Structure 1
């Protein structure tokens, strides 16, 4: 697993394409205008990766899928641990939402905290970890 994180619009996808030879069709974008969330709910059980996300080499915008998990009471870290095998060969891109003003809305505050816990888990489980800022990457692991 490879983790690429950084702020919004900092060049994570461009870095992934350049470094790992990805094309646009290799990347699944969570929560884009298409309405794709990356998750498939099954009878009240822990959601699974959608077939589109599972078939992609990379997943971008995981924090958007995590918001849906938080809203249903599912801890994103638990979701990741349950789907570790499906994600082991993926490049995962996530926006770091831990900076700035803490949201007043309790759901958004819980989301921010859950994304932080998920990023800790992802960093510990990933073979490679990169931070991208202003289009420049820094390898952390």
Structure 2
């Protein structure tokens, strides 16, 4: 699994599209705000925080759904860092922020590579090579 993380509108999707084109990988199916069914086909998953907000699952169950979905397949997971800045006043938004943080930790631990994209500049923070 490859994780690409960064703030909102920082170029994560553009980086992933560029990476897929450079590697000539056209068979990846994109899931936006949804978790793919368990399987072996290659996927790009984005908007996990939106899915988590609407899933109606407890934190542990939601984490298990995500981890099971990504097991044994080529996956690129695009994560929006929502843990920085002002702590939300709304209790549900704070819980979402905390749940995302715990889920993101599990994804990063399992990932072979982690790329942080900051305003369009990719930086490899886990794995081998130079970010491409």
Is contact 1:131–1:137 with CA below 8 Å preserved after alignment? yes
**How many corresponding residue pairs?**
121
Is contact 1:27–1:56 with CA below 8 Å preserved after alignment? no
Unaligned runs of 5+ in 1: 31-37, 40-48
TM-score, with structure 2 as normaliser: 0.78
Instruction: Tell me how large the CA RMSD over aligned residues is.
Output: 2.4
Distance 1:16 1:91 in 2: 8
1:16-27 aligned within 5 A:
16-21=16-21, 26-27=29-30
1:23-62 aligned within 5 A:
26-30=29-33, 38-39=34-35, 49-50=36-37, 57-62=43-48
1:6 is the counterpart of 2:9: no
TM-score, with structure 1 as normaliser: 0.73
Unaligned runs of 5+ in 2: 127-132
2:67 corresponds in structure 1 to 81
Is contact 2:48–2:79 with CA below 8 Å preserved after alignment? yes
Distance 1:62 1:68 in 2: 10
